Amino acid sequence: MRTFSAEEGWPALRASWADRLPEADLAALDEATAFASRHHGDQTRPAGEPYLEHLLEAARVLVEAVGITDADVLRAAVLHDVVEDTACTLDEVREHFGDRVAALVDWVTKPPCSEGRSREEARAAYLDSLNSAPDDAILVKLADRLSNVQRLDTHPRPEKRRAYYDETVRSVLPLAERHPWFRAWYDAWRSEFRRLTQ
């Protein structure tokens, strides 16, 4: 099972994509990466790595594994958590990056809990809504979740590992059926991490 890392940072990743993406698209990703970095600040992932690594891993999956070269999809991958996990608004994303990027970010942003609905119910409704998402939004979601689960055994809370495994199998693997590369990757991942449920 292939894993993806971005610990070398954006400049090294950018240099490695110089033969895959035109300079204008790399410049657009410069802007998105700077924007995400500014908003996420010193946030870290549960295992302690800088948050930006997760965002760049998602973009790396799309470019290097799936062959995506659409700059809007790649910018959405870098920006996919900025509304959900920072004070940034969707309007700010739209103002800086346009309607299409904002729409993709919106699809993969979990809405805040509403009154009368538990956090679990809101999360389930969000995941269910992805069944009607456009293909480009599904690609961003699959790359995002891949980054989150590829090293699931490093998550500090065992109960979260099990719950995230179960949720991924139940709600994300069906989305991967649309895309042969993701389908194969998630099949291998499911087998490798099945032990977390025991």
- pLDDT tens for 79-104 read 999 999 999 999 999 999 999 999 99
Residue 25's pLDDT is what? 98
Distances (CA, A) of 14 to 17, 56, 86: 5, 10, 25
Take residue 155 and report the two structure tokens written for it. Answer: 């998550």
What average pLDDT does this structure show over 164-168? 93
The overall average pLDDT reported for the chain is: 94
pLDDT in tens, 2-57: 999 999 999 999 999 999 999 999 999 999 999 999 999 999 988 889 999 999 99
Residue 116 has pLDDT above 80, yes or no: no
Residue 41's pLDDT is what? 94
Distance CA 74, CA 192 (A): 28
Give the number of other CB atoms < 10 A from CB of residue 163. Answer: 14
- From 49, 70, 85, 153, the catalytic residue: 85
Can you say whether the dihedral through the CA atoms of 52, 35, 94, 89 is positive or negative? positive
Burial class (CB in 10 A: 0-12, 13-18, 19+), 67: exposed
Residue 143's pLDDT is what? 98
Q: Which of 139, 135, 112, 137 is nearest to 123 (CA)?
A: 112
Burial class (CB in 10 A: 0-12, 13-18, 19+), 141: buried
Take residue 138 and report the two structure tokens written for it. Answer: 């599904």
Q: Residue 71 — very low, low, confident or very high, per pLDDT cuts 50/70/90?
A: very high
Q: Residue 115 — very low, low, confident or very high, per pLDDT cuts 50/70/90?
A: low
Q: Residue 198 — very low, low, confident or very high, per pLDDT cuts 50/70/90?
A: low
- From 7, 31, 84, 120, the catalytic residue: 84
Alpha helical stretches, state H, 61-177: 71-79, 82-85, 90-97, 99-107, 119-129, 135-149, 158-167, 173-176
Does 128 participate in catalysis according to the annotation? no
Q: Which CATH architecture has domain 10-197?
A: Orthogonal Bundle (1.10)
Q: Residue 153 — very low, low, confident or very high, per pLDDT cuts 50/70/90?
A: confident
Q: Residue 131 — very low, low, confident or very high, per pLDDT cuts 50/70/90?
A: very high
Domain residue limits, the chain: 10-197
Does 84 participate in catalysis according to the annotation? yes
Q: Residue 120 — very low, low, confident or very high, per pLDDT cuts 50/70/90?
A: confident
Q: Give the type of residue at 80.
A: H
CB distance 7 to 191 below 8 Å: no
CB distance 186 to 173 below 8 Å: yes
What average pLDDT does this structure show over 118-141? 91
